[in-house]
Amino acid sequence: MSLITRRRLITAGVATAAGATGLGVAASLSRRYGLVPPDCKGVYGPGETLTYGVRQMLGRNAMAREFERSMISEKPFANEIAPPTKAFKEMQARGFVDWRLTVDGMVEHPMTLSLADLKSMPVHSQITEVSCEEGWSYIAEWIGTPLSNVLNAAVLKPGVKFIYYHAVEPYLWETIDVDEAMHPQTFLTMGMNDGDLPVGFGGPLRLRVPRQLGYKSLKFVTHITAVDSVKNIGKGLGSVDPEYGYSWFAGI
Ligand SMILES: Nc1nc2c(c(=O)[nH]1)N[C@H]1C(S)=C(S)[C@@H](COP(=O)(O)O)O[C@H]1N2
Ligand SMILES: [Mo]
């Protein structure tokens, strides 16, 4: 649907809301056009809903800023050491040849991909910034294949609304909406600054979501699931972040 049509619908929804029975109509219209985030309830709910709704209406296709090569940070700050598990270290010792990414859920063709499979897809690069919610940031070149290539190969079934992804650490998971998942800058990243993606930065495989804060760019990604709702995942808030007071939608 075009932006104009969507805007008209919203205007119509808001105008209807002015009427006595309109609130419910406005709410259901907003939900229908994907303007309501999963963490829309609670103290911060109205703010989250406003931020996300505006982004969805005006910036669904906006691009994250890309930088010149000369702007790449000399000493990027890795916020995470390798997952300290024996299994991870063994895979690392074997050069991650047995690392697998599982793609399942509401897809026509569930699949399990190796790093070699991913590298055989069209590979692109972007020079973008990682910004942590705690205030620091750095710029790096990220090399990988857009997540859309994998999702298009798996073929999303009608009704998919979110992509749910896990890190190798079982307690770390995130979701993004389908717009973010299909955005050309959302990359399954295997390389950084002309080399393999170092483990400290999420190697061998990290989902870079450059339009959102660093915590959406999960490192050590092993599993991607297409879903139509986040209600039954964790506390139903869309990711672990809102459970700790951070926004599900972390647009920058
Ligand atoms: N698997 C995993 N991914 C993660 C994290 C983590 O602890 N584990 N931290 C997140 C947070 S809060 C930020 S800000 C960025 C930090 O990225 P960096 O280490 O490349 O600086 O990674 C994100 N991805
Ligand atoms: Mo962070």
Could you tell me the residue range of the domain that residue 99 belongs to? 69-244
* pTM of the entire predicted model: 0.89
The rounded Å distance from CA 81 to ligand 1 centre is: 10
Q: Summarize pLDDT for 13-26 with one digit per residue, the tens.
A: 334 444 434 566 77
Decide: 80 in ligand 1 pocket, CB within 6 A: yes
pLDDT of residue 8: 43
For residue 177, pLDDT over 50 is answered with yes
State the amino acid at position 238 in one-letter form: G
Nearest CA to ligand 1 atom 4: 218
- 27 and 106 belong to one structural domain: no
Alpha carbon distance 152, 145 (integer Å): 12
For residue 42, pLDDT over 90 is answered with no
| φ, ψ (nearest 5 deg) of residue 217 | -90, 75
Decide: 130 in ligand 1 pocket, CB within 6 A: yes
Confidence grade of residue 3 (pLDDT, cut at 50, 70, 90): very low
For residue 9, pLDDT over 60 is answered with no
Residue 113, in any domain of the structure? yes
Decide: 218 in ligand 1 pocket, CB within 6 A: yes
Nearest CA to ligand 1 atom 2: 219
Alpha carbon distance 249, 59 (integer Å): 13
- 149 and 240 belong to one structural domain: yes
For range 44-58, the mean pLDDT: 91
Alpha carbon distance 185, 177 (integer Å): 14
Q: Summarize pLDDT for 101-130 with one digit per residue, the tens.
A: 999 999 999 999 999 999 999 999 999 999
State the amino acid at position 113 in one-letter form: L
- 8 and 127 belong to one structural domain: no
Cα angle for residues 39, 60, 138 (degrees, 5° grid) = 80
The domain that holds 75 is classified in CATH as 3.90.420.10
The rounded Å distance from CA 239 to ligand 1 centre is: 14
The rounded Å distance from CA 184 to ligand 2 centre is: 23
Q: In 105-144, which positions are buried (b, 16+ CB within 10 angstroms) versus exposed (e)?
A: bbbeeeeebebeebeebebebbbbbbbeeeeeebbbbbbb
- 32 and 127 belong to one structural domain: no
Decide: 191 in ligand 1 pocket, CB within 6 A: no
